[in-house]
A and B are shown apart, each in its own frame.
Chain A
């Protein structure tokens, strides 16, 4: 391909961009791209770099002022908006933020991806073909075209030799690339004389003649020009490690590099998709790109993109309306805005700070986490094709969120109706719901699923907005800390728990406050409620007392294991807890079976009976869904292990012909092994494999137990028994101290319970397991056949 970027300065198309020298590398270009006056003051290369919001905040900042103290910075990070200061600036005008802008015929929205012109006149936008030319006949349009997965060139189906009838399934590589891969030198067809090969925007982007960016916000400057703040995309070649072998052709990385650019330089839309969407949208056009990773420009490392931070969440502000940035510190104080500020900081300025910030303390947490990242994306992640067993393992993970939650519909409906009933009427009388059930029956998961559903209902406007606070009792350092956390969640401030309690009491008893969004109903989910029990039960009392206050607008959902927690509490608390309870019973076996098979749908890895067996077994033991999933996963792991051990697998395939190659179902035997591992205590196996002397000790203890009837015996007595056993069976009698040592070892692994060895002959010993277990383990012991006599 002709990838030498044309540098003709012939067509100056941009009107007002005082452009710097075209040969500068890309990033510096970006930094020097035109900015309005106030940003320029800090962005000019001579001055120390400083976080952007700082400069926007007070335009008259002198360059030598030290960085603002930490507390200030934090506050600002919560409202990453220059408005309050802009109003005090000279212009006395505001930036006006938009959600959607129609500019030059295109409609741009926050969260869209766009092409951005790279440099002045590199290649004018006059020729911006939407459709690619065929690489053989050099004409556009006509019949269906196919894209080579290697060089991304387009070909007419009929131009190919031999011509193709229809687009083939899977990857397709053109003949030229194939030949090049074989090591031959190929001459690609050249365009006819006089006709230059027109390059599409995609090609320009991939050969770094264009930029792509994601719009983070759109605004109009006081002087009337439209600007946008964007996050840049980067092509693999421009990263520090360069293109890695597993990179796809159309792959881009999202960087954490922000800039403000003028609307003028935006070319048009492109579509950067996540892996999931990319797979689905495979033939959507030419401007589709693939993005799986984020690239940190300071540390040159990669990080997977999570699914949820896809685009900033903007609840407020419609079209052409000023953003209302309330000083409410909590609602928008999410990770994103903190990052934003953080990443615009130049790192070097921050290293020299006198007080460096630790990563694990609250204030410093946001600093340094971006350092975590991998410098090169490991190959095994990308190139690995998952087998069915591996897919099954992944989907059986407890962490994997299933698409649907089967078998808990009734309970979820009940929770939904409870929450809706509590928050939908204007009054919002505070209420409590107590959910109980044994571990692993989906209590927390159901509540969270309901909350997700309700939140989406809020999004569609069917429900009034509410706040949801989730707290886990076991993760609190002390029960009183719950006040601190609730208060922090609600207000964003951090205070001691006594103060927090005071504020919360005030807030919930005094009723509506001035600001509107503070008055949303609050749903408080307390997981592991029983952990909040203190001696005088004041924590629970307080929490359950707030909902009864007329203006509190608080709904409490408590989750715990014990059924009778309300009964264990003081009457004044249990009366406040109310009578609404919801029981999550243990799953029975059809339910477990459905849970497992709903996860495994579409993956052919398990025998039908194997799933049934596992679910029956777990239902009989505990009804814990986690356990059932773990057993199946373990079974899949065992099967996978057997498959992957080279020696074993060859034997496998030779002996079992029914299992075709690469296909192996998890069988009953695997489930059996997994269940064995989970449910059976390992002591029998240890007893079977312990040393000879250890076995003799165990047998002597059983013998002594049967003879004396007392479970506890002293070492001296045991030793005499052992000596007599040994002499009558012609074993070499061991010394007392050797016996003591072996006994203590058994005690350490808790096969027997014993006192410390310094007591010597006065040491008391006792079997930790029933004597039948010892008898079972040692009944037919090959090296000491006489043992069975005494059992």
Chain B
């Protein structure tokens, strides 16, 4: 019972980005407080601003924006309207303007017309900015995937940033992008109007990670859980945290990818493995979660491959080793027959069967066509490429229990002589 409840609590915590990022709310150095100061000061002082949030994917840019906006909405009720655009959806200037007009209408309970031309929409946007500015209302534009807005003539960005240069408007443009060179993509006129504020999102340092994990996994003292369970749970957890093994696991995880989203994925897995009988987290949970993150899909795919598929892969590898740059199914079959003739293996299959195995490999993306040309040719004649490196193939063959010894020997013979 308690286990289910705590599992539900953890899951809701880990999926709620606001809760996750509220761990860093208090520190003045955090991006949260920097961004919040920027927006709130431009709202309270009635000025315009533009800022770019940069950082790798999963570093919590959008989540921090959401958190800040939510808090500001609490502080300044009905003085803020937020317009959200996404570069993947609105990179076309006309559709973006239309979307802005739609959201502005929605925020202010005005009637929106789909039929309005883009000139009308941009005029409406400018008028609305003016009116909102006069009414002490701030308009915040959040442009997600900012780099995608820089395609084309950048009319949207130009008119948006140009509108910010009038005294009456009161707007903040927040660009969110994972491309570090996003501001270099701007056209020179647009760049001159952009106010080059950048907030960089970098993976948190180790002690912040530690704090974040504690913030996420400790059970709250005052809750519906029994206090005995809570204290027992928390003390066990702190034992795990101080364990050397746990630190190793954590380090090897963060060595690969130190972003917050990666950590959250790991913790979610660990929490999902919780022992439902006792209701306590153990080190084993973290270990199995770590194993999950370390899977190598290509090698796994090789483990599940049939013997004939392995033959084909080895043949391709041999062909590449012989520095044949271009080969197709027929040349692979030739090689296959040659192996068969030389070693007299028992695995002799008909052409049709081999073709089926070949198609199967194509589907699993272990091999692929070399180019997109000739898509109307029959499969047998299109040039193909091996997508698995020799190293991986070697490990794959070794780990596949059904692999015939001759194949391994052949492979050893070929490449590791």
Residues of A within 8 A of B (CB): 301-306, 356-362, 364-365, 368-369, 371-375, 377-378, 380-381, 384, 386, 390, 393-394, 397-401, 438-440, 472, 474-477, 481, 485, 528, 531, 561, 624, 626-627, 630, 633-634, 637, 640-641, 644-645, 647-648, 677-678, 681-683, 685-686, 689-693, 716, 719-720, 723, 732, 734-738, 741-742, 745, 748-751, 758-762, 768
Q: Is B196 an interface residue (CB 8 A)?
A: yes
Q: Does B227 contact A (CB under 8 A)?
A: no
Docked Cα-Cα span, A692 to B256, in Å, equals: 6
> Can you list 13 pairs linking A and B with CB atoms under 8 Å apart?
A303-B134, A358-B115, A399-B164, A561-B188, A641-B34, A645-B33, A685-B202, A736-B298, A738-B296, A748-B178, A749-B57, A750-B180, A760-B388
User: Given B124, B164, B168, B299, which contacts A735 in the complex, CB threshold below 8 Å?
Assistant: B299
- A474-B153, A627-B196, A748-B179 known; A686 and B202 CB under 8 Å? yes
**Chain B neighbourhood of A647, CB < 8 A:** 28
User: Ordered nearest first, which 5 A-B pairs have the shortest CB separation?
Assistant: A358-B113, A439-B192, A359-B110, A692-B255, A689-B202
Please give, as numbers and ranges, the residues of chain A lying within 8 Å of B120 by CB-CB distance: 360-362, 365
Q: Are A745 and B257 touching (Cβ within 8 A)? A: yes
Q: B196 touching A374 by the CB < 8 A rule? A: no
Q: Which of B104-137 contact A (CB under 8 A)?
A: 104-105, 108-113, 115-124, 127-128, 131-137
Determine which of B28, B196, B389 lies in contact with A761 in the assembled complex, contact meaning CB atoms within 8 Å: B389
Is B111 touching A645 in the complex (CB atoms < 8 A)? no
Whether B57 lies near A745 (C-beta < 8 A) is yes
Q: Which residue of A lies closest to B126 (CB)?
A: A475
Chain B minimum-CB-distance residue to A736: B392
Inter-subunit contact B389/A690 (CB<8 Å): no
Would A682 and B54 count as touching, CB distance under 8 A? yes
- On whether the beta carbons of A477 and B117 are closer than 8 Å, the reply is yes
CB 8 Å contact bits of B76-91 with A (1 = contact, 0 = none)? 1011000000000000
* Interface contact A399-B167, CB-CB below 8 Å: yes
The residues in B between 43 and 92 inclusive whose CB is less than 8 angstroms from any CB of A are 44-48, 54-57, 76, 78-79
CB <8 Å contact, B118 and A477: yes
Contact indicator A474/B389 (Cβ below 8 Å): no
Residue among B48, B127, B184, B254 making CB contact with A369, cutoff 8 Å: B127
Chain B 305-342, CB-CB to A under 8 Å as 1, else 0, gives 00000000000000000000000000000000000000
A394–B167 Cα distance when bound, in Å, is: 10
The reply on B398 being an interface residue by CB < 8 A is no
In the complex, given contacts A372-B135, A641-B34, A690-B56, what are 8 additional A-B residue pairs having Cβ atoms less than 8 angstroms apart? A359-B113, A372-B108, A378-B76, A398-B48, A474-B155, A477-B94, A691-B255, A691-B256
A368→B119 CA distance, assembly (Å): 19
- Contact status B196-A678, CB under 8 Å: yes
A659–B270 Cα gap in the complex (Å)? 52
Residues of B bordering A, CB below 8 Å: 28, 33-34, 37-38, 41, 44-48, 54-57, 76, 78-79, 94, 101-102, 104-105, 108-113, 115-124, 127-128, 131-137, 153-155, 158-159, 162, 164-169, 178-181, 184, 188-189, 191-193, 195-198, 200, 202-203, 252, 254-258, 294-299, 365, 368, 385-389, 391-392
Residues on the A chain within 8 Å of B117, using CB: 362, 477
B159 neighbours in A (Cβ, 8 Å): 474-475
**Across the interface, do A399 and B47 meet the contact criterion of CB distance under 8 Å?**
yes
The one of B133, B192, B258, B388 that contacts A691, using a Cβ cutoff of 8 Å: B258
Shortest beta-carbon distance from A289 to chain B in Å: 20
Give the distance in Å from the alpha carbon of A390 to the alpha carbon of B41 in the complex. Answer: 9
Do A359 and B181 have beta carbons less than 8 Å apart? Answer: no
Residue pair B385, A762 in contact (C-beta under 8 Å): yes
Given A637-B38, A735-B294, verify A365-B123 contact (CB < 8 Å). Answer: yes
For the complex, give the distance between the alpha carbons of A644 and B295 in Å: 48
How far is A604 from B269 in the complex, measured between Cα atoms in Å? Answer: 57
Is the pair B119, A477 in contact by a Cβ cutoff of 8 Å? yes
On chain B, the residues within 8 Å of A305 by CB distance are 134
- Of all chain B residues, which has the CB nearest A784? B255
Partner of B181, one of A368, A681, A741: A681
A439:B189 contact, CB within 8 angstroms: yes
- Pairwise interchain contact A750-B111, C-beta atoms closer than 8 A: no
CB distance from B381 to the nearest CB of A (A): 20
Distance in Å: Cβ of A366 to nearest Cβ of chain B: 9
Contact B78 A399 (CB under 8 A): no
Shortest distance between the CB of A246 and any CB in chain B (Å): 13
Residue among B122, B135, B165 making CB contact with A475, cutoff 8 Å: B122
Contact residues in B for A356 (Cβ distance below 8 Å): 111
A758 in contact with B178 given A360-B105, A360-B124, A365-B123 (CB within 8 Å): no
- Whether B192 contacts A749 by the Cβ 8 Å rule is no
Give Cα distance in the complex from A745 to B261, angstroms.
13
Residues in B with CB closer than 8 Å to A630 are 195-196
Q: Please give, as numbers and ranges, the residues of chain B lying within 8 Å of A626 by CB-CB distance.
A: 192-193
B256 touches A760 (CB 8 A): no
Task: Indicate if the CB atoms of A748 and B57 lie closer than 8 Å.
Answer: yes
Would you give the shortest CB distance from B21 to chain A, in whole angstroms?
Answer: 18
CA distance A749 to B28 in the complex (A): 26
Taking the closest CB of chain A, its distance from the CB of B101, in whole angstroms, is 4
Q: Is there contact, CB below 8 Å, between B200 and A685?
A: yes
How far does the Cβ of A273 sit from chain B's closest Cβ, in whole Å?
18
Complex Cα spacing A682 to B180, Å: 7
Known contacts A358-B113, A361-B113: does B189 contact A528 (CB below 8 Å)?
Answer: yes
Q: Is the CB of B78 within 8 A of A375?
A: yes
Docked complex Cα distance between A416 and B385 (Å): 70
Write out the residue numbers on chain B whose beta carbons fall within 8 Å of the beta carbon of A304: 133-136, 168
Given the complex of chains A and B, what is the CA–CA distance between A738 and B295 in angstroms?
8
* Complex Cα spacing A686 to B180, Å: 9
Pairwise interchain contact B365-A758, C-beta atoms closer than 8 A: yes
A751 contacts which chain B residues (CB < 8 A)? 180
Residues of chain A contacted by B108 (CB below 8 angstroms)? 359, 368, 371-372
Contacts of B164 in A (CB 8 A): 398-399
Contacts of B131 in A (CB 8 A): 303, 369, 372-373
With A475-B159, A749-B56 known to touch, is A359 a contact of B196 (CB < 8 Å)? no
Assess the B109–A371 pair: CB atoms within 8 A.
Answer: yes
- Shortest CB distance B313–A (Å): 13
| Beta-carbon contact of B257 and A372 below 8 Å | no
Residues of A within 8 Å of B153, CB to CB, are 474, 531
Separation of A716 and B389 alpha carbons in the complex (Å): 7
B76 contacts A750, C-beta separation under 8 Å: no
Q: Point out the residues of chain B lying under 8 angstroms from A399, CB to CB.
A: 47-48, 164-167, 169
A741 x B47 contact (CB < 8 A):
no
Q: Which residue of A lies closest to B98 (CB)?
A: A360
A-side contacts of B257, CB under 8 Å: 691, 693, 741-742, 745
**Least CB distance, A505 to chain B, in whole angstroms:** 22
Contact B193 A384, beta carbon cutoff 8 Å: no
What CA separation (Å) do A362 and B116 show in the bound complex?
7
Given contacts A359-B105, A475-B122, A475-B158, whether A677 and B198 have CB atoms under 8 Å apart is: yes
Q: Are B255 and A693 in contact (CB under 8 A)?
A: yes
Q: Residue on B with the closest CB to A645?
A: B28
Known: A474-B189, A745-B56. A738 touches B256 (CB 8 A): yes
Of B28, B133, B255, most A-chain CB atoms within 10 Å: B255
Contacts of B48 in A (CB 8 A): 397-399
Evaluate contact between B128 and A372: CB separation under 8 angstroms: yes
**B31 CB, min distance to chain A CBs, angstroms:** 13
- The distance in angstroms between the C-alpha atoms of A716 and B48, with both chains bound, is 49
Q: How far is the CA of A732 from the CA of B132 in the complex (A)?
A: 58
Residue of B nearest to A629 (CB): B195
CB neighbours of A531 from chain B (8 A): 153
Asked whether B191 lies within 8 Å of A360 as measured between CB atoms, the reply is no
Find the A residue at minimum CB distance from B205.
A689
Please indicate the chain B residues that have their CB under 8 angstroms from the CB of A634 in the complex: 195-197
A401 interface neighbour in B109, B132, B154, B167, Cβ under 8 Å: B167
Chain B nearest CB: distance from A52 CB in Å?
24
Nearest A residue to B182, CB-CB: A750
| CB proximity of B167 to chain A, nearest CB, Å | 5
